[in-house]
Amino acid sequence: MPRDAFAAEFRHVEHWVFDLDNTLYPPSARLFDQIEARMTDWVMEELDVARGEADRLRRHYWQLYGTTLAGLITEHGVDPAPYLTHVHDISLDHLDADDELRTAIAALPGRRIVYTNGSADYAGRVLAARGLAGLFDAVFGVEDAGFHPKPEARAFAAVFAKADLDPARGAMFEDDPRNLAVPHALGMRTVHVAPGPAPADHIHHHTDDLAAFLSQLVDG
């Protein structure tokens, strides 16, 4: 597709919504390895189960509910606040500032928003480590969706209402293909950010280099 035609597909966009984990930093940072280990520890202690069962439940709840936390709330009534504090208490030493990504995001016209299934506090720490602090107009965590996770439609509805966001004039960037289905249905441009593509009708574009992708939308 010619560059001008490609950029034209985003010319109407006024709201740029970015997932956080493995989207605004590369999967090679492996932050989720730390988070998943702390999730398993939490499940072991909260449910009094062995590590193998805790790890199985963590994966099962993620597949069934969208996040481990959603499964723990639904099936066990856990308090989400201490859970979020525990699982996000990780080292960010593997993150580096990304000047190229900051420049590309800063050049986008309109509002720039982060929406994560993690906590907003954790998102703030990650953005600071990536050199992206102060770049976004709003940062929303799972708490802003009443602890309902993406890919649930009600989670997007809650956050988009708080953001006063018109999906028809928005674009969504995500590493998890499941989390692009509702934005697509709402009329957003959808971009899958991951090392490899996951072809699906609800995904308009794929990239393994977010900074380079965004630069094509604002240059030339």
d(CA 38, CA 6): 41
Banded pLDDT at 9 (limits 50, 70, 90): very high
> Which residue spans of the chain are classified as CATH 1.10.150.450?
31-87
The residue whose two tokens read 């390895």 is 33
Per-residue model confidence as pLDDT tens digits over 60-84: 998 898 889 889 999 999 999 999 9
Report the chain's mean pLDDT, rounded to a whole number. Answer: 94
Rounded to an integer, the average pLDDT of 41-60 is 93
CATH 3.40.50.1000 domain position(s) in the chain: 3-26+96-218
In the DSSP assignment, the letter for residue 133 is T
- Band of pLDDT at residue 153, cut at 50, 70 and 90: very high
Over 50: is that where the pLDDT of 220 sits?
Answer: no
d(CA 78, CA 186): 31
Q: Are 167 and 160 in contact (CB under 8 A)?
A: yes
- Spell out the CATH class of 3-26+96-218: alpha beta
Question: Which residues are CB-neighbours of 113 under 8 A, at least 6 positions away?
Answer: 15, 16, 17, 18, 136, 137, 138, 139, 140, 163, 165
> Bridge partners of 174?
192
Q: Is the pLDDT of residue 6 over 80?
A: no
Write the CATH number of the domain with boundaries 31-87.
Answer: 1.10.150.450
Q: Helix count (H) and strand count (E) of the chain? A: 10, 6
